[in-house]
Structure 1
Amino acid sequence: MKDLLIITNYFPPETGAASNRIFHLSEGLQKHNFNVSVLTPLPNYPKGRVFKDYRGRFKQTSVENDITIHRLWIYASNSKNKLLRLIAMLSYSFSLIWFFMWNKIPETVVIQSPPLLVAFTSVLFLRSKKRKLILNVSDLWPLAGLELGALKKNFSYRILEKIERFNYKHADLILGQSDEILTHVKSLYSKKEIFLYRNYPDFKAQAPNQEIQTSEKLKIVYAGLLGIAQGILKLCEHLDYSKIQLHIYGAGAEQLAIQYLIKNKPELDIIYHGEVSRQELHSVLTQYDITIIPLLNRIYGSVPSKIFEYARLGMPMLYFGGGEGETVINKYELGWVANAGDYAELNTVISNLDRSKLSLKNRIKIQNIAFTNFDFNIQLKQLIEVI
């Protein structure tokens, strides 16, 4: 078996797209004759506090599904204070350096990016002619931070750009979740070896088997991180509720503000269900008419993994994020799109939505499209050929 190490900031029992993506990758490689180990912080995301069962520990090593998982100390924080978030990233970087000093590192290493500093630490200390470094780029930082308004073009931004370029330069292979990411990498290093690695899910999905009993009001559901990038609070404030009811599942930085809004504006037809497991979520999602996938701003390089997950469930989608994600929705006829940030157009699209496309027949069609075009195992086998 070929030894392979995956370095990531997110891993189960943490929830979310990043955690699921790396979990499926590690499990898939393990099943294809790789001896996989994972380096990750003690679980803390998205609450910004180490989970109860892991507190008071500097390190924990366990074997789960034949994968060795090393969970390292981190100063956990999801504060909006940039200094505290920097300290959190640096703390994990120091834990990684400590681990590199005292442990034998395999010749093949997959490094998740962002966070840039964690990827930089790994690339800096592990680059070697005898080792193959594979950089898995899921978002283009610092560019995404600039588009979100979290960063400004100043000295700090230029430093982050230099770190980004260092990471690309010294990686032997770069995986990108979108064509836009790979185009960006090629614009900087034209000869760099690249591979399109979409965030395809890997789970058994039941076939849609009954018509949804659509009420007078359209039941729209959002499920996922309640973070700044998703802009769920702003979405709640700008939707026209005369014809819809919005259901929300998830947790994150905007959770309290959303709950406060619901409490103080009961005229807004919003129901917050809290956070549920992924398995439970798959069961409840199919009860709704349509899912919504919003981004606060169009983010270059971003293709939300929800697109592929919901397609596998046979769920019609309303995409409100622009960019390559919009292209995927239109190309495969998975639902409807509205221009990112244009809430007037979003409400118009919802108001004029063709309800016949919410039928059982169309849900089965969407699921079959996913089975044919978004197959995790086919993509994994292609990846193994270049590893």
Structure 2
Amino acid sequence: MKDILIITSYFPPEIGAASNRIYHLAEGLQERNFNVQVLTPLPNYPTGKIFDAYQGKFKHTSVEKGITITRLWIYASVSKNKFLRLIAMLSYSFSLVWFFAFNKIPKTVIVQSPPLLVAFTSMFFLRSKKRKLVLNVSDLWPIAGLELGAFKKNFSYKMLESIERFNYKKADLVLGQSKEILTHVSSLFANKKTLLYRNYPEFDAPKITPRNPSDKNIKLVYAGLLGIAQGIYKLCTELDFNNNIELHIYGSGAEQKLIEGFIEKYPKLPIYFYGRVAREELHQVLLQYDVAIIPLLNRIYGSVPSKIFEYAKLGLPILYFGGGEGEDVVNNNQLGWIAAAGDYSDLNRIIASIQISEITLSSKQKIKETATSTFNLEAQLKTLSNLL
């Protein structure tokens, strides 16, 4: 049995695509006869507060499904203040260095990036000719930060670019969740070994149910993080509800109060907010809707929203409004409709063109079958296992 360590900033009981992705990676490797350890902060995302069960602890170790999970101290914060966010990342980096100094580290280590500084700490202190370092890149930072308006091209940005290049250079293998990520890595290090490793979900999809024929409106649903990048508040303000549509929203995040305030101000608009729902319950709830909308406020190079794969596995038709490689995934696999990124007129035009008659039990089943055969986590894990 080969020992392997996974270093990540997100892990269950935290919610979101990042924690789910790493959990399924750890579980999948454990099932393939790897002895998996996970190193992660005390759970705090997305609230920015250490979860109640872990309050007052500096370190917590548990064994779950055979996986040893060590949770380290972090100064938790989701503040918009860049200094406080830097302190939060550095605090976890310091905890990692402390752990490295007093514990035996396996010869194979998978490091999650971003955050860049956390990945840099791991790549810097664990680099060794005798150790294989695998960098799992889910988003391209600092490029994504620049496109989101979080960074400006100044000295700090150049420092982050240097850190990014260091991380790629020291990696023996780079995993990327999109082809754009791998293209970017190869443009910097032409001979770097890479592997496309998508954020495919792993769950037992509930049975698809037919829509209620008495429903005359098309029910759009969004479920996930209500952050700046997703732009759900702007979506509420820009949708043309004369197109006989409803918008149903699940989740939590920075824009939650704005969304709730908008609904309160315009109570006659068919917008419904339900808050955060556990993933297993959400999968069942989502089956009552007609179309899942996946928006991004700005097109982010390298990003492919994991919701594409999750909704497809549920058999939900997708309305994609984010640009980039995600458009190719939806188009090539016939998962739904594409609206030009950032163009709300085009979005409303596409919505107006959708016919209820198109949303049938058989069309949903076809999407589900495509997802099952194409977005195959087992095949992906088999390929990765052979490279470790």
Where on the TM-score scale, by shorter chain, does this alignment land: which range? over 0.9
What is the alpha-carbon distance in structure 1 between the residues aligned to residue 8 and residue 37 of structure 2?
Answer: 11
Quote the Cα distance in structure 2 between the aligned partners of 1:207 and 1:99: 45
Distance 1:143 1:212, change over 3 A: farther
- Report the secondary structure of 2:175's partner residue: strand
Q: TM-score, normalised by structure 1?
A: 0.98
Q: For 1:180 and 1:213, how far apart are their aligned partners in 2?
A: 42
CA drift of 1:214 comes to 6.1
| 1:87-236 to 2 correspondences below 5 Å | 87-213=87-213, 215-236=215-236
| Separation (CA, whole Å) in 2 of partners of 1:54 and 1:203 | 27
Match of 1:308 in 2: 309
- Between the two proteins, the alignment pairs up a number of residues equal to 387
The reply on whether 1:360 has 2:365 as its aligned counterpart is no
SS at match of 2:228: coil
Number of the residue aligned with 1:86: 86
Deviation, 1:204, is 1.1
Structure 1 residue identity aligned to 2:70: H
Distance 2:252 2:119 in 1: 26
Deviations 1:270-291 (A, max 9, x none): 1110101000000000100110
* Equivalent in the alignment of 2:256: 255
Q: Which moved more, 1:51-60 or 1:202-211?
A: 202-211
User: Partner of 1:64 in structure 2?
Assistant: 64
Q: 1:214·1:289 contact (CA, 8 Å) conserved in 2?
A: no
TM-superposition CA deviations, 1:333-354 (whole Å, max 9, x none): 0000101111111011101113
Structure 2 CA distance for partners of 1:234 and 1:209, relative to 1, 3 Å: closer
Q: Is the 8 A contact 1:239 1:343 kept in 2?
A: yes
> Between the two proteins, what is the percent identity of the paired residues?
66
Q: Does structure 2 retain, via aligned residues, the 8 Å contact 1:177–1:196?
A: yes
Superimposed CA distance per residue, residues 176-214 of structure 1 (whole angstroms, 9 cap, x where no aligned partner) = 000000000000000000000011111111332434446
Note the residue ranges of structure 1 that are not aligned, 5 or more in a row. none
Secondary structure at the aligned position of 1:23 is classed as helix
TM-score by length of 2: 0.98
One-letter code of the match for 1:25? L
Q: Deviations over 1:251-278 (max 9, x none)?
A: 1111111111111221332111010100
CA distance in 2, matches of 1:223, 1:214: 24
Distance 1:112 1:214 in 2: 47
Letter of the 2:241 counterpart: Y
4+ residue segments displaced more than 4 Å: none
Letter in 1 for 2:101: M
In the alignment, is the contact (CA less than 8 A) between 1:212 and 1:359 conserved in 2? no
| 1:224 counterpart SS class | strand
Gaps of 5+ in 2: none
Q: Which residue of 2 aligns with 1:16?
A: 16
Coordinate RMSD, CA, aligned:
0.9
